[in-house]
Structure 1
Amino acid sequence: MAKVNANQLRKGNVVEINGKLLAVIAAQNIQPGKGTPVMQLELRDLSSGLKTTERYRTTESVERVFIEDREFTYLYTEGDLITFMDVENYEQLSVPAEVVGDQAVWLQDGMKVDIALYEGKAVSVTLPQTVTLEITETEPTVKGQTASSSYKPAIVTNGQRVMVPPHVSAGVRIIINIAEGGVYLERAKD
């Protein structure tokens, strides 16, 4: 950790305030007509995900934390622990499921993820933007519904429900945007 002036903080930095790790989402330097300039920081708590806003005088010191981002490969889930392997040194790291959050349902064997580490402890896990899965069941395709704007429900191989266009049938591999909560993008080209 290092003490830095509030005006040196930028988006993506991590700070420690009252024993909590907070990521800077936005940093704005406000110069009022009278008085001292302030830095308004929009922060997100890394453990709970809650957003807060803090104001500091530009000369005030803040504890900046240095986070190490490393690439890992998903191995398996056992109970409430998810195990990943470091791609550089092949060491395994078990992460509590709440750190991964709701996106844990999209994990696939061998999937590459980015894990932010603070003092050897995982503080966040970032999955890829998209994932390719096969549709296991959906309503049958109705002839002549190829250009319709309505969508139908489908179940993919991991058991999640995704809305797909009417012309897509079971057995088709599709690309899903998991960053937006599991939205159909297109058919896979493989």
Structure 2
Amino acid sequence: MISTNDFKKGLRYEHEGAPWQIMEHTVHNPSARGAATLVKVKARNLVTNQVLQKSFKSGDLFEEPDLNKLEVQFLYEEGDDLVFMDRETYEQYNVGKAHFGDSLPWMTDGFELDLLQYNGEIISIDMPKSVIVTITSVEQGAKGDTASGKVMSRGMLENGIELMVPTFIKEGSKIKVDPSANTYLGRES
């Protein structure tokens, strides 16, 4: 069981038959004698992605959600689904493209990520914090203050995603990218 005393950012709990993840929480101690301490949370429903603010009494108890993280590798596209293989059990999972949104271009042969299951159903994906990719082309950046590293060029990645990279990055370079935000993180040596 999870108590409101255990609440912290990122904690997952089950409430009203759905899994929730805490985004923010605060504890309010009313000044009136005998008044209950309130715990206010901003939480996201992991099934619907709905964000709500709720208040609970201090000491309220919640079940732990039946969540299972699967480490998978992308295999191929099949109609409106993407097919993944569990890296431990080799079991295959079909996941609707709707789960991926802006992350769909990252689904290239062998791409690894985590799937989150709730009661046996896949409800969301967790992209890796960073991936190593190759730059296939770079537009020339504007002349100027290149010493500060602030001049950026438009770069094209091997998976067709376009992002801004420092001007010292050349075609064929391997770079580290945050796939959730499509941002340059650094050069890979």
Q: TM-score band, normalised by the shorter chain? A: 0.7 to 0.9
- In structure 2, the residue matched to 1:24 is 22
Q: How many angstroms does 1:62 deviate by?
A: 4.4
- In structure 1, the residue matched to 2:112 is 112
Q: Distance in 2 between matches of 1:7 and 1:172?
A: 49
Structure 2 counterpart SS, 1:105: helix
Note if contact 1:14-1:67 (Cα within 8 Å) is conserved in structure 2.
no
Using structure 1 for the length normalisation, give the TM-score.
0.81
Q: How many angstroms does 1:8 deviate by?
A: 4.8
Question: Number of paired residues?
Answer: 185
Q: Distance in 2 between matches of 1:176 and 1:166?
A: 16
What does the per-residue CA deviation read over 1:53-86, in whole Å, with 9 as the maximum and x for residues that have no partner?
Answer: 1001235454542212221222123333122111
What amino acid is aligned across from residue 21 of structure 1 in structure 2?
P
* Structure 1, unpaired ranges of 5+: none
Alignment of 1:130-141 (within 5 A): 130-140=130-140
Q: How many angstroms does 1:159 deviate by?
A: 1.0
Q: Which range moves more in the overlay, 63-72 or 124-133?
A: 63-72
Q: Which range moves more in the overlay, 160-169 or 62-71?
A: 62-71
Structure 1 counterpart SS, 2:101: helix
In percent, how many aligned pairs have the same letter?
26
Structure 2 counterpart SS, 1:98: helix
Q: Distance in 1 between matches of 2:31 and 2:75?
A: 56
Q: How many angstroms does 1:23 deviate by?
A: 1.7
- In structure 1, the residue matched to 2:31 is 33
Structure 1 counterpart SS, 2:100: helix
Q: How many angstroms does 1:20 deviate by?
A: 4.2
- In structure 1, the residue matched to 2:68 is 68
Structure 2 counterpart SS, 1:159: coil
What amino acid is aligned across from residue 185 of structure 2 in structure 1?
L
* Structure 2, unpaired ranges of 5+: none
Q: Which range moves more in the overlay, 45-54 or 135-144?
A: 135-144
Q: How many angstroms does 1:45 deviate by?
A: 2.1
Q: Distance in 1 between matches of 2:25 and 2:60?
A: 14
Alignment of 1:4-153 (within 5 A): 6-10=4-8, 11-17=10-16, 19-34=17-32, 35-60=35-60, 62=62, 64-140=64-140, 147=147, 148-153=149-154
Alignment RMSD: 2.7
| 1:169 and 2:182 matched | no
Using structure 2 for the length normalisation, give the TM-score.
0.81
- In structure 2, the residue matched to 1:155 is 156
Q: Distance in 1 between matches of 2:80 and 2:11?
A: 28
Q: Distance in 1 between matches of 2:117 and 2:61?
A: 23
Q: Distance in 2 between matches of 1:77 and 1:117?
A: 20
1:55/1:167 CA distance change after superposition, 3 Å: same
